[in-house]
Structure 1
């Protein structure tokens, strides 16, 4: 299936097939000596590329690409192997800032097509490894209404009172009530320029948000709890369901449009066709790493070490579901 339905990479509106490649890790080498083996792309040399950013100089052609410094090592490769291979295959020169310095990667060559090919290969390589970076930020709506937070506090107290003897249930796996939120998506923003771009994009999105809401507040209701796997006795995430009180899909529209905008800008990776609107109430990732709360509960580390909990008693009708009753679960967005 990797061959029949390969992963696709969107770079500045151009779609590339991501071939399966071999990635080699060297335990005895420094992090900067990371090596990437295999083809960067099987079609970069012959396909037409966007050459708008390539300028002609007295010595040939030149282009530059802004790359966060944390990704330089993937272009350099182990002992410079990746850069040398790219330069040899495209007959170009790739200049990368020195360690500790920030700046663009500059590609020069005697032929415009060669520079365009090298540029595409570098972009595909960067995009591939960008997806492997740990999340630094997440886009979310804060559930900061006092009634919501007070209701969650009561929910936590009741669960610990009645279910603390159930496997894996303890106070450490509950979300911090002041950090309750609806996560729209996670981002890996690797330098200040990307943080600024994300902030500017979020400001731009206010226009369509006003259009969807018609300039009026959205009254939301937090009601009901659900789990994210098929076995209630072995749960890793328990979440509260959120909907608009009038029954409309306006909140879903806003969430989906936000995700689309950030994906199109290259600041977020598309994972689902629609954003799953939920508020994490309990997450086993919190058990060993409370800092996961600051990442929206989406940390990558420690996934194999997480200890599930038995949620069957928590999910019994008429007991804890009443926590999300309308009187204690309405907020205005």
Structure 2
């Protein structure tokens, strides 16, 4: 009777969740094997139990998840009796088996560290408090974890706890942006060369070729002594010191090679995204492909060209700059490009891939050339929050970078690069390259 009660309870199991419009963090797949049951030595009783359990069939039930898109369904497999559980082999006149329930959660490998916690502390706490086991995949390419427990309630509560952890991680700066929609500029070799020359000049590496400069080792990035009477890195007299009155170092200005943008990745950013699992990446690809016609319409079917001129500081003063960029001027007026960017922003927001705080941001098109966020830290490196850009502005503040056609729009993956050195292209749209004549 105890076994039948457990089966009936499992059949009546329902899991309350709330459905929202955003893309699901993970999908659930329930399975459970075995039943807590003590079987006596009576062969007739065992035969009767087998007959009763054979009548149990699998059923489909909708399971919805918070922050999950509509029409998400998972198969709920009812408890079944493992044939080996009711073996004729008896020990001490009886045998026992254990309930085993599990849920597979598609999380994304970038979120595993938040579930584990420092030294596995968060994972251990959840396992101990809820009497479950969290199993992480052995391969870094897999994105699912498995929660095992002795009851449907325990694995369900554990999955809800994990979902709260994921919600908090996604909204925090601790989980960096993984993808972005970009307008690539590095496809123009002459622009790439200009950027290498700019870096070499500021760093005092005029004798290096672009390839040598881009592949320089960490030793090549050591502080360079620069004579301000010959190279105007600063537009004001250097601070006096006991050892030098005519020289300063790039380190004093907070400038090193790592804060320069790699010219081979030069681009305009349209939208930043956090796509932490394959499902969200696939959704982003479908969205981009699905709005190709609307983007073409917003551009009026005409080529998109931009002009870069001068330098400017994103926030604050040039003396304490964090981001230095080349302002963008759209040839023929920026209305067409802004309309196209609006189409992209609205589509990805509607698809649930844009964070709430990012959805409220106003787009400012710019081509970043220096950014302190990219600074490489070492034990001997000072932790600069900014750099002094006044000398750079004096020399390059009115630089003519040129006019360039933008032939493509990419869904790019950060920290991963294709053979040409540009960010990995997950998807792309070809933009008009020839003027249409009515």
Which TM-score bucket, shorter chain as reference? 0.5 to 0.7
Identify the residue that residue 43 of structure 1 maps to in structure 2. Answer: none
Identify the residue that residue 37 of structure 1 maps to in structure 2. Answer: none
Identify the residue that residue 27 of structure 1 maps to in structure 2. Answer: none
Residue 141 of structure 1 and its aligned partner are, at CA, apart by: 1.6
> Of residues 308, 318, 324 in structure 1, which corresponds to 2:400?
324
Indicate yes or no: 2:124 matched with 1:80: yes
Q: Residues 231-280 of structure 1, C-alpha deviation per residue, up to 9 Å, x if partnerless?
A: 22111210111131112323233334434444554555343522321111
**Secondary structure in structure 2 of the residue aligned to 1:175:** coil
In 2, Cα distance between equivalents of 1:169 and 1:104: 43
1:56–1:62 CA contact under 8 A, matched in 2: no
**Secondary structure in structure 2 of the residue aligned to 1:163:** coil
Q: How many residues align?
A: 270
Distance 1:11 1:70, change over 3 A: farther
> Of residues 393, 401, 420 in structure 2, which corresponds to 1:315?
393
Indicate yes or no: 2:226 matched with 1:141: no
1:151–1:324 CA contact under 8 A, matched in 2: no
RMSD of equivalent CA atoms: 4.5
Identify the residue that residue 108 of structure 2 maps to in structure 1. Answer: 68
Indicate yes or no: 2:329 matched with 1:243: yes
Matches within 5 A, 1:1-333: 12-13=20-21, 53=73, 57-59=77-79, 65-72=105-112, 74-75=114-115, 78=121, 80-83=124-127, 85=129, 87=130, 96-97=135-136, 99-100=138-139, 102=142, 103=144, 105=146, 121-130=161-170, 131=172, 132-144=174-186, 145-153=188-196, 155-156=198-199, 162-164=231-233, 167-168=252-253, 172=257, 173-192=259-278, 194-265=280-351, 267-269=353-355, 270-271=357-358, 272-288=360-376, 305-306=383-384, 308-316=386-394, 320-324=396-400, 328-333=402-407
In 2, Cα distance between equivalents of 1:284 and 1:105: 40
Distance 1:12 1:324, change over 3 A: farther
Distance 1:202 1:14, change over 3 A: closer
**Secondary structure in structure 1 of the residue aligned to 2:163:** helix
**Secondary structure in structure 2 of the residue aligned to 1:242:** strand
**Secondary structure in structure 2 of the residue aligned to 1:322:** coil
**Secondary structure in structure 2 of the residue aligned to 1:281:** strand
In 2, Cα distance between equivalents of 1:99 and 1:59: 27
In 1, Cα distance between equivalents of 2:286 and 2:382: 36
In 2, Cα distance between equivalents of 1:274 and 1:107: 45
Residue 63 of structure 1 and its aligned partner are, at CA, apart by: 7.1
Q: Residues 285-330 of structure 1, C-alpha deviation per residue, up to 9 Å, x if partnerless?
A: 44526xxxxxxxxxxxxx99235322234435xx6343136xx234
Identify the residue that residue 292 of structure 1 maps to in structure 2. Answer: none
With normalisation by structure 2, the TM-score equals 0.48
**Secondary structure in structure 2 of the residue aligned to 1:329:** strand
**Higher alpha-carbon Rg:** 2
With normalisation by structure 1, the TM-score equals 0.60
Q: Which runs of 5+ in 1 are unaligned?
A: 1-9, 16-46, 290-302
Residue 221 of structure 1 and its aligned partner are, at CA, apart by: 1.6
In 2, Cα distance between equivalents of 1:13 and 1:107: 29
Distance 1:261 1:104, change over 3 A: farther
1:11–1:124 CA contact under 8 A, matched in 2: no
**Secondary structure in structure 1 of the residue aligned to 2:364:** coil
Identify the residue that residue 30 of structure 1 maps to in structure 2. Answer: none
In 1, Cα distance between equivalents of 2:76 and 2:105: 16
2:126–2:158 CA contact under 8 A, matched in 1: no
Q: Which runs of 5+ in 2 are unaligned?
A: 1-17, 24-65, 81-100, 205-229, 236-251, 408-438
**Secondary structure in structure 1 of the residue aligned to 2:399:** helix
Residue 180 of structure 1 and its aligned partner are, at CA, apart by: 1.4
